[in-house]
Amino acid sequence: MSALMSTNTSEPLLSEFAKPSYEQWKVEAEKLLKGVPFEKKMLTRTHEGITLRGIYNPADVQDLAGLDGKPGFAAFTRARNAAGYTGEGWKISQELPLGLPEEFNAAVRHDLLRGLNEVTLLLDIAGARGLDPDHAKVGEVGGCGTSIATVSDLAAAFKGVHLDAVPVYLKAGASALPLTALFLAYLEKTGTDPQKVSGCIENDVLNVLQSGDPLMVSLDQSYDELALLINSAGPKLPNVQFIGVQTLAVANAGANAVQELGYAIAAGASYLAALTARGLDAAEVARRIRFSVSVGGNFFMEIAKLRAARQLWSRVLEAHGVAPATAPMYLHARTAIWNKTRVDANTNMLRVATETFSAALGGVQSLHVGPFDEAFSVPDEFSRRVARNAQIVIQEETEITRVIDPAGGSWYVEWLTDAVAQKAWAFFQQIEQQGGVVASLTAGWLQEQIAAVAKNKIAALEQRRETMVGVNNFPNPKEQLPSPKLPDYAAVHAKRVKAIKEHRTGGEVAADTAILGDLGQLTTADGDARLAAAVSAARQGASLGELTRALRAGDAARAKLTVSPLRITRASLGYEKLREACERAAAAGTPALVFQANLGPSRAYRARADWTTAYFNVGGLTVKADQDFNTIEDAAAAVKISGAKVVIICSTDDKYLEVVEPLAKLLKAADSGVTVLVAGAPGDNATKWQAAGVDDYVHVRTNNYAMLQQVLTKIGALK
């Protein structure tokens, strides 16, 4: 009886078969590769500088430290808490970048009834800079967030929302202290117990610094404000974090997972150092930090990054004398912007699905899933619903929340987690050798490191060594780029300026006098008295801008640091510009046309013909490829009728030997300005074909983006 049919339960299944070793497997794999080098086909070099093998075994993880660690125990690689998601899932924390408080309120109340369970409010550009609407420009008010200037604005934004029952995440840029004063005054006004409020009022001055937004406050002042928040607001809001460590700018500038994680650890360490130097307890500082990281499309790399993050942060805490169990890392995540596209935008729904799954398997505490149109529009109810439900489907339908650390134990995941951790720690040490995050940004070192990786990522897309579906491969040739749906920022600005002016003139004289008194105290008071004066001023009607100016009255003489910002972009932007150029040309009556001269029955070279058509379609060009020609004369005549200025000859390699030279000569004779291309590499024929009039070749080693630029310039669609 075979082992498969054996009824002996003490005998291991398949025990009669010898277990092949990795070396034996490699020998057999090399036979199947038929001469292709094993290293070329079976090893993959990632943008992180990590070489992935085609298969992993127990031997690959047997020496890894901490492999027997348990969820909820240092170094927390497997989960932040012992129960994982079996006790409670991650918070569904969707951003709602709606400019007016009442718009935000309508959206958040709608979404809370449909699965949202953490309220995320982003201050608009003006608010994040500490400016009231009447001190800001059009585009800053209601731009990238909600315009909040007064307690009344918070009341409008949170009307009907019970903040003692649902966590709140206020992303304040560098304005957390004045926003906290408004927030505490709002809680007092509504009778909400601040002890029951949880979430984060996020201040991340380092993120503001590197993002290119003007830093309206000195670093010392910002650190002083954070210290005041933790010391004075902390006891009132014991379940609220105040320090944000955001890696979104880093990730969306093209950083790899190692750089993003290394930066996160370095930024967290910078806040620890700055605040402990101001006399704060390291454990209390650590407890008040929320890490907000990006999750991109490399499924397993992102899982490994999140698992490694907890491991590395535990090392930093131990170095500061903090027991990691007293302040385990809080990980908020949001899906990346870098890999989202306006081209074939519905594919973004599929991208965020894998990213959501990565975040879940990596063990985040809260998550924003980007609506498919967030890269070019303010998301509407439909796109918000699809994004929100991406999280809910995974929580409710996949059963992964029934298992703690479902990715744990995988030889590949454990090996990759260790590899990412090692490299990220090394990058963190490099930042420290530069003098820390601020010094590395001031010197431009961090920007250079990230820009080099981004350049390689873009090059891989342009050369089609990597695929972005719908962008540089698998295009939809009939698609028109969606028009951005953005607010009327001039109208938003006018409405908010009117509101703040009415607020200032509508108060009673006694209240105005009280505000002036409280604001005056802010310039001299310290500690708890300073926060109390700020809250009192906010309660009487002081605005965010007024509080900011009073709180920072002594900061005016301090130098405001500036650095070269990270180049935040999206990988598909170049291709989108090509598509836009083609759409403009078509609208002007001169469509960007490539004539594909198929010679002979195309069934003999169908794959090449389809590949060639798609090669140009990704740039938005129209390819006329609907006819096969038996003779070069017929092909040349059809080209003349079409008026095309770019022709690509397409057939089999054998057929090329008889048709390329004469057809190229015919085409050039009819129009010396026509560009003649050949689909495929020329081999030994380059010299004679060039002499006949062939200008270039299109094949897998041709830079797709550069060729499209060249063709569109020739046609006149690009200047």
- Domain ranges across the chain: 91-462, 573-715
Mean pLDDT of 297-305: 98
Report how far residue 125's alpha carbon sits from residue 142's, in angstroms, rounded to the nearest whole number: 7
Report how far residue 679's alpha carbon sits from residue 122's, in angstroms, rounded to the nearest whole number: 50
> 512 or 167: whose pLDDT is higher?
167
Per-residue pLDDT tens for 344-357?
999 999 999 999 99
Burial category of 489 from C-beta neighbours within 10 Å (exposed 0-12, middle 13-18, buried 19 and up) = middle
Burial category of 361 from C-beta neighbours within 10 Å (exposed 0-12, middle 13-18, buried 19 and up) = buried
CATH number (3.10.105.10, 1.10.150.120, 3.20.20.240, 3.40.50.410) of 91-462 reads 3.20.20.240
Coil/strand/helix, residue 311: helix
Q: What is the pTM of this model?
A: 0.94
Count CA atoms within 13 Å of residue 216 on its CB side: 19
Q: Among 190, 149, 177, which residue's Cα sits nearest to residue 503?
A: 149
4 — pLDDT class (breaks 50, 70, 90): very low
Q: Which residues pair with 91 in a beta bridge?
A: 366
The answer to whether domain 573-715 has CATH 3.40.50.280 is yes
Residue 7 has pLDDT above 60, yes or no: no
pLDDT the model gives residue 571: 97
pLDDT the model gives residue 505: 86
Cα 207 off chain centre by? 14
Mean pLDDT of 467-479: 94
Per-residue pLDDT tens for 516-565?
887 888 888 888 999 999 999 999 999 999 999 999 998 877 778 889 99
> 335 or 36: whose pLDDT is higher?
335
pLDDT the model gives residue 512: 72
Helices marked H in 541-628:
544-551, 573-587, 606-617
Coil/strand/helix, residue 166: coil
Q: How many CB atoms lie within 10 A of CB 275?
A: 24
Per-residue pLDDT tens for 222-276?
999 999 999 999 999 999 999 999 999 999 999 999 999 999 999 999 999 999 9
Residue 11 has pLDDT above 80, yes or no: no
Q: Which residues pair with 648 in a beta bridge?
A: 596, 677
DSSP letter at 416 equals H
